[in-house]
Amino acid sequence: MKLRKWQSECINKALKVYLNGLSHFLALATPGAGKTMMASALAEQLLKNDLVDLIICFSPSSIVSKDFSENLQLVIQERFDGLMGARGHSLTYQNLQYLDDNFWQLFKKYRVFVIFDEIHHCAGSNVDNANAWGEQIIVNIQDKAKFTLALTGTPWRSDAAPIVLSKYMHPSNKISCDYIYGLAEAIQDNVCRIPQIIAVDNNHISVVDADETKTFNSFKCLLSQSIIPYQEVIENEAVIKFLISSAHKNLTKIRSINLTAAGLVVASSVEHAKQIVMLMKACIDEDAIVVTYKEKDPTNIIRNFRHSKKKWIISVGMISEGTNIPRLQVCCHLTNIKTEMHFRQILGRILRVTNGQNQTAIMYMPAEPKLLEYAYRVKQDVPFEADVVKFEKMKTATPEDIDDKQPDAVTFDKTKSTPPKIELKLSNFGNNIKHEELDGVNTRADVHYLTDSYEKVVNIFGQFKQEAIALGLSDLR
């Protein structure tokens, strides 16, 4: 098994820390760098050196947990299903609250190595300020596990709470990492692709009210007035059509070389995803796979898409951090979650370098001020001069250039009856794209589960069936 340079360095440093008497190690590696393989190889070294007996891994989602289990099994050549004779188990953070005393007794009987993937979901420096997952770690794992390894690609929380098991530097209050592998290093090492972030804007925006019509020359100006919420921008039919048609055009170019390259659309709600599916069919005549927290088996949907040749997948809270679909090379940021952590995790889905000849990675998003701020920070991480952030204006399509399908004016009509719906008036655009009714579907979600913070994305997984939570590793007693 050939490791990347950074993976070998990180493993060697972790082993040195452990052998020097410390039990915890925090590794920061940019999304898409290969943290799962590094952690699995470190676990193998600990077992070979007879430093641990069992390995437990906690991850933020069932798909990542399954991937970790398979990777550990591949590297160590032992089972990780938590049953009799297994070397360990891979669980989700949701499982923490349901594990019984039989499970926690393992930490008294065996030398346990615990891997925490995306540790930033677990908050707390003590029981009093911890969230539910952080509290379980503090009470049952801290000071009880032989060694712990925490992994993150985005080492901060949207609520500014301390990350569990972590140390912070004073007076900066920045997290202290034992090993750092950033995007700049990953691009230089050809581990991650150079991102292209395309911010879509519009010079002809109108908001029609009962008394007046206001015009704006950018989404920034529109949103600064607080008369139209960002949710309406990402639900706007013209915006959706422009983003997906432009993204699809680039995906088609990439697929002419990388035949299995794929695109991801991150939506804000289940109803929003349905809207995008129908507009995608009407606009570019493409069917998309949809995966949301309401699906019976979302993990299997993602795994099937990973190994298929299908072009597009639309996700609601399912494909963000840690989800490994290397063939993704284009994405559309159409979610109303506007935290830098979520932005970076979505971007990370398209940055994994593959064996393909074309390593283009493009994210489309509305030119919303916060998202632009994050995009420019990504640009600062790129180790050389590159056009990372570009602007694209929505403009009128001409009969000679129908394939571009680009609208000009966008109108938000606030005079409509409750519930409000967006009315689009597209200059010289109606003849170029066939507009289809949405069959009575309300394109606004009644409840936007993902609005408040990135934490809600994670908590969504709590609605899934718990997969054999009780079994844990109790059969190993």
Please tell me the distance from the alpha carbon of residue 355 to that of residue 362, in angstroms, as a whole number: 18
Please tell me the distance from the alpha carbon of residue 236 to that of residue 242, in angstroms, as a whole number: 10
Please tell me the distance from the alpha carbon of residue 9 to that of residue 329, in angstroms, as a whole number: 28
Q: What is the mean pLDDT of residues 241-263?
A: 97
Please tell me the distance from the alpha carbon of residue 16 to that of residue 14, in angstroms, as a whole number: 5
pLDDT at residue number 159: 65
| Residues pairing with 92 in the sheet | 59
Please tell me the distance from the alpha carbon of residue 224 to that of residue 328, in angstroms, as a whole number: 33
Q: Is the pLDDT assigned to residue 58 strictly greater than 80?
A: yes
- pLDDT band per the 50, 70, 90 thresholds, residue 408: low
pLDDT at residue number 7: 98
Mean pLDDT of the chain, nearest integer:
84
**CB-count exposure of residue 110 (10 Å: 0-12, 13-18, 19+):** middle
Q: Which DSSP helix (H) or strand (E) runs through 458?
A: helix 454-459
- pLDDT band per the 50, 70, 90 thresholds, residue 295: confident
Contact at 8 Å (CB) between 54 and 473? Answer: yes
pLDDT at residue number 416: 67
Question: What are 369's two structure tokens?
Answer: 């001020």
Please tell me the distance from the alpha carbon of residue 176 to that of residue 199, in angstroms, as a whole number: 33
pTM, whole model, 2 decimals?
A: 0.81
Please tell me the distance from the alpha carbon of residue 92 to that of residue 136, in angstroms, as a whole number: 13
Please tell me the distance from the alpha carbon of residue 236 to that of residue 421, in angstroms, as a whole number: 9
Question: Using CA of residue 336, residue 341, residue 344, residue 345, what is the dihedral sign?
Answer: negative
Can you tell me whether residue 14 is helix, strand or coil? helix
Contacts of 310 (CB under 8 A, 6+ apart): 262, 289
Q: Is the pLDDT assigned to residue 210 strictly greater than 50?
A: yes
Contacts of 315 (CB under 8 A, 6+ apart): 264, 265, 266, 267, 273, 290, 291, 292
pLDDT at residue number 157: 75
Sheet strands (E) in 202-298: 205-208, 213-216, 262-266, 289-292
pLDDT at residue number 158: 63
Please state the φ and ψ torsions of residue 266, each to the nearest 5 degrees: -100, 115
Percent share of the chain, pLDDT over 90: 70
What structural domains does the chain harbor? 5-186+462-476 (3.40.50.300), 193-446 (3.40.50.300)
